[in-house]
Amino acid sequence: MKLMIVIIRNEDYETALQALIKQEFRVTYIASTGGFLRRGNTTLLIGTEEGRIDQAMEIIRNSCSPAESGQRRATVFVVNLDSFEQL
């Protein structure tokens, strides 16, 4: 199991969120601020199987609008999960 932490611009998160949900990814979104994108952003938390990482990455790439010069569209971290439970 993997956890994707996706820091995405506010103007792109809704498109990405809806596309991920449509493909049956479970997503939690959190309003966030910080220095990664230098603007308002949203953090998406996606728990998924390792085999679906590429699919999620493609959805995120296709959901982001073009970046301005020197700006990033999204920052993605993929980390291993030792444990996962739904209660």
> 2-80 maps to which CATH number?
3.30.70.120
Would you give per-residue pLDDT tens digits along the chain (87 residues)?
999 999 999 999 999 999 999 999 999 999 988 776 566 789 999 999 999 999 999 999 999 988 777 778 899 999 999 988 888
pTM: 0.89
Tell me the domain boundaries of the chain.
2-80
What is the Cα–Cα distance from 5 to 53, expressed in whole angstroms?
11
- Strand 2-9 relative to strand 26-32, pairing: unpaired
